[in-house]
Amino acid sequence: MNPDRAILLLWCPDRPGIVADVSNFIYTHGGSIIDSSQHNDPVSDTFLMRIEWDISGFSVGREGIKPAFEPIAAKYTMTYRIELDSRTTRMAILVSSYDHCLYDLLLRNREGETHADIALVISNHEVLRPVAELFGVEFAHVPVTLSAKDDAEAQQIGILRDRGIDLIVLARYMQILSPRFVAAFPQRIINIHHSFLPAFVGAKPYHQAYERGVKIIGATSHYVTDDLDQGPIIEQDVARVTHRDSIKTMVQKGRDREKLVLSRAVRLHLEHRVMTLGNKTVVFA
């Protein structure tokens, strides 16, 4: 985190002059560019850009950046957002009974590898309450039953809104979120799926991989949409397996990948390096 940095993310129809005008905007107001990345999607002819700059000497205050930039955005019909590095993202983790991803996220955040305020852990079981308490994080137990799932989700949404949560991370939360829940936090829910999507969606992917005799297993972190395990992919990784691997050893290898992939995806989101384009992402790593 640097309190004197701003990040602009934009996407618009591609045409000449965009980079020049954006760079000149920063220069004219006394900013210094720290990092700049661009991408043109040839299929949709869309231009995407992430630019980060030092605002310690910027001639307009933080609240004035957006109004000052608006004429350029209108000129190029941009969709954009401006993020200030000084603002800390408030994060909640949803988890069921598996603890490996939860431990990893909490530890990495405590060690400063990710910059977030992990304000809350919500679980449909009590078993991981001691883990949250070990790290000094509030724990909320919201049981989920088939007959009362709507009520449970309404309670979860209320808690998340009450705590001012910006980002929700599903750390092996073994429940399917309803469209209502997803719509309440669009592009703000990150999931970890224990397979290399699009292979082996749904339940027990390691069992499916074992039965198919695959030579590579993986993990995928993606934004959650209404379609199960079909959201825009942020990060993936794989591990090699052989005929000697049992389901148990495949699960062990896979959980190592799950922790790494989820933590990378969360970090990329927190650093405002991910932009969605349809059902894909552009990741300015």
- Identify the active-site residue in 45, 54, 227, 229: 229
* Contact present, 255 and 270 (Cβ < 8 Å): no
Amino acid in the structure at residue 70: E
Phi, psi (rounded to 5 degrees) for 183: -65, -25
Question: Directed axis angle between helix 65-75 and helix 18-28, to 10°?
Answer: 160
Rounded to an integer, what distance in angstroms lies between the CA atom of residue 261 and that of residue 220?
7
Beta bridge partners of 170: 94, 191
* Contact present, 45 and 13 (Cβ < 8 Å): yes
Residue 54: which H helix or E strand, with range? strand 46-54
Peptide bond just before 16 cis, omega within 30 deg: no
DSSP labels for 11-22? EEE--TTHHHHH
Q: How far is C-alpha 92 from the chain's CA centre?
A: 12
What dihedral do alpha carbons 201, 203, 207, 211 form, nearest 10°?
-50
85 noted as active-site residue: no
Considering only CA atoms, which of 52, 285, 270 is closest in space to residue 166?
Answer: 270
Residues designated as active site: 229
